[in-house]
Amino acid sequence: MTRFVDNPYLVPFDGKWKLAEAPTTPPDDGNGRKKRKKRLEKVVGEIDDLQRRLYAENKRAILLVFQAMDAAGKDSTIRAVFTGVNPAAFQVSSFKQPSSEELDHDFLWRTARRLPERGRFGVFNRSYYEEVLVVRVHPEYLKGQRLMDPTPSDEFWANRMQSIRDHELHLARNGTRILKFWLNVSPEEQKNRFLSRIDDQRKNWKFSKSDLDERGFWKDYMHAYEEALRATSTPHAPWYAIPADDKPFLRLTVAETIRDALAQMDPRFPELASEKLGELGRIRGVLTKDD
Q: Are 84 and 48 in contact (CB under 8 A)?
A: yes
Least separation, in Å, of the C-beta of 263 and Mg ion?
Answer: 33
Cβ nearer to Mg ion, comparing 121 with 124:
124
Q: Which residue stretch of 9-17, 76-84, 128-136, 254-262 sits at the interface with ligand ATP (rule: CB under 6 A)?
A: 128-136
Cβ nearer to ligand ATP, comparing 167 with 259:
167
Q: Which residue stretch of 13-21, 69-77, 124-132, 220-228 sits at the interface with Mg ion (rule: CB under 5 A)?
A: 69-77
H-state helical runs in the chain: 33-57, 74-81, 100-103, 109-112, 134-137, 154-173, 187-199, 209-215, 218-232, 247-265, 274-289
- Please report whether residue 167 would count as binding ligand ATP according to CB under 6 A: no
Stretch 74-113: interaction string toward ligand ATP, x if CB under 6 A = -x------------------xxxxx---------------
Q: Are 169 and 54 in contact (CB under 8 A)?
A: no
Cβ nearer to ligand ATP, comparing 51 with 125:
125
Q: Which does 134 bind (CB under 5 to 8 A by kind): Mg ion, ligand ATP, none?
A: ligand ATP
Which residues within the stretch 198-237 sit at the binding site for ligand ATP (CB under 6 A)? 208
Cβ nearer to Mg ion, comparing 205 with 274:
205
Give Cβ neighbours of residue 188 (< 8 Å, ≥ 6 apart): none
210 vs 71: CA distance, rounded Å: 12
Q: Are strands 90-94 and 121-125 parallel, antiparallel or unpaired?
A: parallel
| Of the candidate residues 55, 141, 157, 221, the single one contacting ligand ATP (CB under 6 A) | 141
108 vs 247: CA distance, rounded Å: 31
Handedness of CA 84, 207, 193, 190 (dihedral sign): negative
Q: Which of 109, 133, 111 is nearest to 124 (CA)?
A: 111
173 vs 236: CA distance, rounded Å: 9
Cβ nearer to ligand ATP, comparing 56 with 108:
108
Least separation, in Å, of the C-beta of 67 and ligand ATP?
Answer: 9
Least separation, in Å, of the C-beta of 173 and ligand ATP?
Answer: 25
Cβ nearer to ligand ATP, comparing 13 with 109:
109
- Please report whether residue 130 would count as binding ligand ATP according to CB under 6 A: yes
Q: Which does 126 bind (CB under 5 to 8 A by kind): Mg ion, ligand ATP, none?
A: ligand ATP
DSSP string for 227-257: HHHHHH-BTTB-EEEEE-SSHHHHHHHHHHH
Least separation, in Å, of the C-beta of 65 and Mg ion?
Answer: 17
- Report the half-sphere exposure of 153 (CA within 13 A, side-chain side): 6
243 vs 250: CA distance, rounded Å: 6
Residue, CB closest to ligand ATP: 130
- Residues of this chain that interact with Mg ion (CB under 5 A) are 70
Footprint of ligand ATP on this chain (CB under 6 A)?
70, 75, 94-98, 126, 130-131, 134-135, 141, 208
